[in-house]
Structure 1
Amino acid sequence: MGQLTAEDRGFIEAALLQNMSVSKIALHLNRHRSTIYREIKRNTMKQGRDSWLGPMPYQATSASNLTSMRRRETRSKKKTTPQLLKKITYYLQLKFSPEQIAFGVKGIPVCTNTIYNWIYNGVLEFDIKGLRRRGRRYKRKLVHKKEAQFKRPEKKWFEDHSIANRSVAANHRLEFGHWEADSVLSVRHSTTALATFVERRTRRYKTYKMAKKTSHNMYKAMCQLLKDHPGAVKSITCDRGSEFINQGYVGLIESKGTKIYLANAYSPQERGCNENHNGLLREYYPKGTDFSKVDQQELNQAVESINNRPRKTLNWKSAQLVFHKELRKATLI
């Protein structure tokens, strides 16, 4: 196997948060457990000796950065020779730019950035002000922080989790335990959001507060749903928002026996039941509501009111009543 990927490190971070053993992580990633032990030990940021915070948790982004830094240092040490430094300095004094030296001079085995770094770090005895534009680099197009941190899965991953793979029984509401999920945003200046779930057959609705609409918080909400209804969550169908398509968290949920399906892009009708119930919730909390000022208990009361309404589609029975009836039947099987 090759080096660990960003996806692998994302899974390790998520798994460690759930106290998954190193052996299970290695089995899931098809790696030797020594590889995982070494990855965690070498790429976990450490606090100072006198820090009272204790050891920091493993973080995928930090691990990737530490690995890249280590590789750069190794490469730099191997490439630096007195002859090479003398040659680069000679051309710098001739007013060649680092880019012209890297690409236009034969026998230069380093890239433009390496030459700049050697100048900045004092490896090359050359005054930075002697460079063209006095060493100021050309500005590059900035990548949005969210885009830099989040990497969308490959097309094959989406195909494997497509709603097209959902069973006929789930599609036609013939089987209990298939849910739809969504997130409801707060007022613009607030980061607080809601994770909402509805069971397709019985229309029972559940909501959980999230401090922020992130994949980690959505994962915790799904775990809470599984904890509140053990054995009653066979699948969850979501849209393709970033909070639902973190491969590490999806893998953890599916390892608990719950399949994740993704609706097609721009197809809210494929999760129409959830969309409808979010509309019912807006009767209590109109758009513009700051959910940071609404506690979970108050939210539960609104949801309970929705679940206790008689429904025409349920022969005028409530979702609460039908859900518990189906739950008892499932328990007896």
Structure 2
Amino acid sequence: MSYSLSQLSEILEGRCIGNGDVLIGRVSTPEGASGDSIVVVLDGKVLKDIPGGVSIVGKEEVFSDGRRGISVREPRLAMAVLLGLFQEKATVQAGIDPSAVIHRSAHVDENASIGPLCVLSEGTSVSAGAVLRANVFVGRGVSIGEDSVIEPGVVIYQGCSIGKRALIHGNVVIGADGFGHIPASEGRRVVKVPQIGGVRICDDVEIGANTSIDRGTIGDTVIGEGTKIDNHIQIGHNAFIGKDCLLAAQVGIAGSAVLEDRVVMAARSGVQDHTRVGSDSIVAALGGVTKDLPSGSLVSGFPARNHRSKLRQDAYVARIGDLFDRVKRLERLLSEDS
């Protein structure tokens, strides 16, 4: 489908610059640009790589050389909208594949889609518009909300719930037992603590491939509305993740940790059990949170501490070799004077 430049400017709530009748049929990189494409300019340095006759989207300043396009305040947001417009939509047919195994007590809305070899256990509920791709296992009593998409190989254990418009990528495991054990002592082996809670995934959550979210010991592990979780992440039992959080690859959230709203966890960072991270905080890559953080914190390192302080300390550490050499020279001079 194609849109005129003026139509796109209205959709993006931007200002059309140049011929608004030009038809745009795709979003492209600078290298792959042509007359029917549009390029989102996030960095003015790439302008030199974009042919002059190609439409662009960017902030006002990138149009100083008379280029055609759409001026917007937030180019990254505009990119997201454009990609959604031009993304090829997969055709989904409602119904149940003959190879699926559906318990007689399960409820599947007539407008839901159940793919090959799916298993729906006793008392499960799949709402209108929900899509289960091939080989999805849904445990006893699980509910899946409207328009949610469950990709191949996902396992959802009993007693969990998935909200509306969730997107759960391949091989995610939701609701496996939390890591609850009483350590061994003299004359007694390790004792497993039964995990009788569940997992509650709220509306508009996205969970990346191969992520695991453990069920609560008592009560639920909760993932709040709008939160986006990357691949290969571990979330422990009874953790609470607030609204609109962003968790990058290989993050680890220990049991009963709390992330308030809009927290950003960069790659391979982690939070200790029973620790609270305040709203709007950012934990840098490899950061390890070991104590409560107030709202708006920016921390890095292990143990995680104020990011500016951490950078200053790193700079001091980098100078230790030079300082050692200076001390050795001073000692040598002092010994010669004596």
**TM-score interval (norm. to shorter):** under 0.3
RCO (CA 8 Å, sep 6+): is it higher in 1 or 2? 1
Question: When you count helix as a share of all residues, which structure comes out higher?
Answer: 1
Higher strand share: 2
**TM-score scaled by length of structure 2:** 0.21
